[in-house]
Amino acid sequence: MATATSLAIITESERMRQILARARTIAASDGSVLLIGETGVGKELFADYIHQASPRAAGPLVKVALSAMPHELLESELFGHERGAYTHAVSQKKGLFELAHRGSLFLDDIDDVPPAIQPKLLRVLESREVMRVGGTTPIPIDVRLISASKIDLKDLVGRGLFRTDLFYRINVVPVAIPPLRERPEDIPVLVAHFLGRFASEKQLAVAPAALRALVTYPWPGNVRELRNVVQRIGLFAETEVRLEDLPPEIHHGDPMQNLAQACARCFADESMSFNAVVSCLEQNLLRQALKEAAGNRTHAARLLGLNLSTLRDKLKKYGLESEGGAEDQGEST
């Protein structure tokens, strides 16, 4: 039976249920949380969940997407400014840290915070007080920080693009949220949820062929992409969602196209190391082969040109053992 919280974190995945249980434990503490996951996996929803399950729930939850904020305005937005601090500062302004006092501050895309701001952010977190731009008096703050990153910050630290001391300050409690392609059992319940949300009056069923296509598609945009697709098909479908109602990239997708889509972030994200790109590609090749082989490991190994024992080792290495099924009897290892 699908699990749904009051914030609609809907899942059939045992892995996700374990993460939600961890999030409930984390919420009771006051440590800084770092949510790690690809774009569209639902990091903001987890931030909402942690805040509302915490002792700070009665206080504000202030959110900012750092990637959407012009760098020249970021210091003033975060820390506030005094009147006359610069040319256009015609009045005093509280920053986001002040606005989040006695609550939580969610900094999305913390990996995009510019180097010039990083030491100032660290100082605020360590001193628990903020100095407005142009100000002379520190202002005490009581804020629980929740950050989110779409990439592994350790890579940026290793390349000198992210301060080590700031990383350890925000990474007190890390929470890794898996992409949708790693929890395909969530896709049917999410489809039903979004159909009920966007086309409840139609009471649409989903044809088996359409559901198979939805489950096997790699969803490079994760839950956000799935929500948008379901909203669109719910608008045009009449009594049933059929295979032909799905976008062409889903119902006409071939294995190599799906692989390219699943690895799109690996090839486009310049911050990823060579080893991380190779790992991403190898994991998706393994998943694609298992799908084509209907879970049969012997067949999947044959498709990849691997010995069965090598396939088993790789599945174990990446924690994908549950995605494989039966093995042919008598196959050489």
Q: What is the Cα–Cα distance from 43 to 34, expressed in whole angstroms?
A: 10
The two most distant CA atoms of the chain are separated, in Å, by 80
Q: Shortest CA distance to 187 belongs to which of 175, 198, 195?
A: 195
> Which residue has better confidence, 170 or 302?
170
Residue 84 vs residue 116, higher pLDDT = 116
Distance, in Å, from the CA atom of 165 to the CA atom of 119, rounded to the nearest integer, reads 9
Query: What is the separation, in whole angstroms, between the first and last Cα of the chain?
Result: 38
Position 43 confidence tier, pLDDT thresholds 50, 70, 90: very high
pLDDT in tens, 98-130: 999 999 999 999 999 999 999 999 999 999 999
CATH hierarchy code of domain 180-257: 1.10.8.60
Domain residue ranges in the chain: 3-176, 180-257
What average pLDDT is seen over the chain?
85
Q: Which residue has the tokens 């969940």?
A: 49
| Weakest-pLDDT range from 47-51, 68-72, 233-237, 243-247 | 68-72
Residue 3 pLDDT class (50, 70, 90 cuts): very low
pLDDT at 180: 93
Percent of the chain having pLDDT more than 90? 51
- Tell which CATH architecture fits domain 3-176: 3-Layer(aba) Sandwich (3.40)
- Check for a shared fold between 3-176 and 180-257: no
The pTM (predicted TM-score) of the whole model is 0.74
